[in-house]
C-alpha cells in the first residue's frame, strides 16, 4: 500500500467518522482528527480519546464557540440572513468555520488532504469542499462516507472487524446537527410532509401549548447591529446566545418546519429549532426600521436574500459574499439601540424599541398637539407627484372602469375620425 501522507478528518465521534479513520488508513493515510466545538452537546474529551484509540495519530479539539458567534452568526445577523426567508442557516454557518479549521490544522500538520463524513446526497459536502478549495486549492478532499457506498449495517460490520467501538445506546430515529445558532432535525417520519413533528424530536424548545401562561419580556441592546446586552447587562456573544436559547426556548420560540429547496436539486422537509436566532433576527430587523432610511432598507432587503443564498450554497469565502459583508457593515453603523421583545406560547413579538440614532420623529408623526409637519406643503407635493399620471390620462384619454382597470378608447374616439 502506497503511503499518501497525512489527512485531517472533521471528526464528530459518531459511527461514520469513527469508521472513516480506519478507511482512510486503509487508503494509505495517517489520520489526524479535528473536532470543532461550536456549541453542540458532546463530550469533547471523550471524543478526542476515542479518535486516538480508533487509530488517529493526533487529535485536535477546538473551542470555536466565540469565533462562530462573532465571525459567522453576527455577520449573518447583520444581513438578517434566512434561506428562503425562513431557515436561520444554523448548520450552513458552521461549515465554513469547520473548513477553515481543517485547512489550518492541515497546514500545521503538513497534511496533503482533508476529509469529512458527509454523504453524496447532502449539501454539507458542497459547503465544506467549496470552502476548503477557496482557502487552500492545493489540498485534496476525501469523502469516505460518500465514496465507500456502505450501508449502516456494512459500517457496523466493518467497525466490529477492526475493533472500532460501536455506540450501544438506542439510536435516534433522526439525523441531528446542532450548534449555538440552532438545531437541525431530519429523516425518519419527518420525510413525509403530512406527518406532524413528534414531540420527542425537539430538545431546545418547549411545546408552545405547554409553555408558561405568563409572558416574558426582555430588552436586547444592540451596538452597530450586534447584540451586546440583555436587560441592561453586558454579555459576550456566547453568553448572549446561550441565555436567549434558554429563555426563548422555554417559551416555545424558534421552531421552524419547512419544505426547503436543497442545493443538490430536490426538495426536502427540514425541521429546525433556533430560539436565540429567531429572537435576535426579529429584534434586529425591527431596530433597522427605526434607524435606516427607506432606500437603504429597500436595497438591503433585496441583498439579504442573496446573502442567505451564498451562505447556504457554500460561497461564504466568495468575492461577492465579502463585498456584501462590506455593504452590511456600512448599513449597521447606525443600528444601535434597545429592543424589547415578549416571549409567549411560541411567539416572539417586538413590544418597544428606542435608539439614539432613530430617524423616527414623533413631532412629525403625531396627529396630536405638537404636530410640526407642514400640512400645506402636501398640496404642492401631491400635484407634482401625480403629474405623470395626470398627463398620461390627458394625452391618451383613457378612462377607468368599475374594477379599476384602464379602458382603451375606441379608434374613432382616439383619432378624432368621424367616418
Residues comprising the binding site for L-aspartate? Answer: 119, 124
DSSP state of 171: P
Rounded to the nearest 10°, the torsion over CA 103, 107, 111, 113 is 20
Spell out the alpha helix ranges (H) of 27-121: 44-54, 65-68, 74-78, 90-109
Catalytic-labelled residue, pool 65, 91, 95, 100: 95
Catalytic residue (one of 175, 236, 293, 330): 175
Q: Which of 142, 90, 134 is nearest to 116 (CA)?
A: 142
Residue 183's DSSP bridge partners are 178, 273
What is d(CA 221, CA 229) in angstroms, rounded to the nearest whole number?
A: 5
Give catalytic status of residue 95 as yes or no: yes
User: Active-site residue among 91, 94, 124, 177?
Assistant: 124
Among 322, 284, 287, CA closest to 306? 322
What strand order describes the sheet that includes 175-179?
175-179, 182-186, 267-273, 255-261
Instruction: Find where cell 479539539 sits.
Output: 61
List residues forming the annotated binding site for ATP.
10-18, 36, 117
Contact present, 21 and 13 (Cβ < 8 Å): no
The question of whether 318 is a catalytic residue gets the answer no
| Upper half-sphere CA count for residue 75 (Cβ side, 13 Å) | 23
Q: Which parts are annotated binding residues?
A: 10-18, 36, 87, 117, 119, 124, 127, 175, 260, 272
First to last CA, the chain: 97
Shortest CA distance to 224 belongs to which of 328, 343, 147, 313?
328
Which residues participate in the annotated binding site for L-citrulline? Answer: 87, 127, 175, 260, 272
Nearest Cα residue to 90 out of 47, 42, 122, 124: 124
124 is catalytic: yes
Active site residue 94: no
Given 16, 100, 183, 269, the catalytic residue: 16
CA 414 distance to own-chain centroid: 57
Max distance between CA atoms of the chain, in angstroms, equals 100
Residues with active-site annotation: 16, 95, 124, 175
Amino acid at each position: 500500500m502506497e503511503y499518501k501522507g497525512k489527512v485531517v478528518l472533521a471528526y464528530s465521534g459518531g459511527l461514520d467518522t469513527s469508521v472513516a479513520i480506519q478507511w482512510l488508513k486503509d487508503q494509505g493515510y495517517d489520520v489526524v482528527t479535528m473536532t470543532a466545538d461550536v456549541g453542540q452537546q458532546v463530550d469533547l474529551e471523550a471524543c478526542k480519546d476515542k479518535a486516538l484509540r480508533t487509530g488517529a495519530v493526533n487529535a485536535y479539539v477546538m473551542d470555536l464557540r466565540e469565533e462562530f458567534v462573532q465571525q459567522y452568526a453576527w455577520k449573518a445577523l447583520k444581513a438578517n440572513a434566512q434561506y428562503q426567508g425562513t431557515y436561520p442557516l444554523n448548520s450552513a454557518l458552521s461549515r465554513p468555520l469547520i473548513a477553515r479549521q481543517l485547512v489550518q490544522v492541515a497546514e500545521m500538520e503538513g497534511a496533503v488532504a482533508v476529509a469529512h463524513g458527509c454523504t453524496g446526497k447532502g449539501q454539507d459536502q458542497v459547503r465544506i469542499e467549496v470552502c476548503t478549495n477557496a482557502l487552500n486549492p492545493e489540498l485534496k478532499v476525501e469523502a469516505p462516507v460518500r465514496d465507500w457506498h456502505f450501508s449502516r449495517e456494512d459500517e457496523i460490520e466493518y467497525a466490529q472487524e477492526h475493533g472500532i467501538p460501536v455506540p450501544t445506546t438506542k439510536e435516534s430515529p433522526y439525523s441531528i446537527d446542532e450548534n449555538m445558532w440552532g438545531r437541525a432535525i431530519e429523516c425518519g417520519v419527518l420525510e413525509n410532509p403530512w406527518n406532524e413533528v413528534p414531540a420527542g424530536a425537539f430538545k431546545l424548545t418547549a411545546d408552545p401549548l405547554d409553555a408558561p401562561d405568563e409572558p416574558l419580556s426582555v430588552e436586547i441592546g444592540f451596538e452597530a447591529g450586534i447584540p451586546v446586552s440583555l436587560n441592561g447587562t453586558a454579555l459576550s456573544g456566547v453568553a448572549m446566545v446561550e441565555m436567549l436559547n434558554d429563555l426563548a426556548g422555554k417559551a416555545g420560540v424558534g421552531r421552524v418546519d419547512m419544505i426547503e429547496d436543497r442545493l443538490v436539486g430536490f426538495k426536502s422537509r427540514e425541521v429546525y429549532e433556533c430560539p436565540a436566532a429567531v429572537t435576535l433576527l426579529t429584534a434586529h430587523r425591527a431596530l433597522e426600521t427605526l434607524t435606516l432610511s427607506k432606500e437603504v432598507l429597500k436595497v438591503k432587503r433585496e441583498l439579504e436574500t442573496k446573502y442567505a443564498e451564498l451562505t447556504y450554497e457554500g460561497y461564504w469565502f466568495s468575492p461577492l459574499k465579502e463585498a456584501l459583508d462590506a455593504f452590511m457593515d456600512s448599513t449597521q453603523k447606525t443600528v444601535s439601540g434597545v429592543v424589547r421583545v415578549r416571549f409567549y406560547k411560541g411567539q416572539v413579538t417586538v413590544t418597544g424599541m428606542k435608539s439614539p440614532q432613530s430617524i423616527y420623529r414623533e413631532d412629525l408623526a403625531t396627529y396630536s398637539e405638537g404636530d410640526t409637519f407642514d400640512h400645506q406643503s402636501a398640496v404642492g407635493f401631491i400635484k407634482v407627484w401625480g403629474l405623470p399620471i395626470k398627463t398620461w390620462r390627458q394625452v391618451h384619454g383613457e378612462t377607468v372602469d368599475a374594477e379599476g382597470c384602464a379602458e382603451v378608447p375606441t379608434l374613432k374616439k382616439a383619432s378624432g375620425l368621424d367616418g
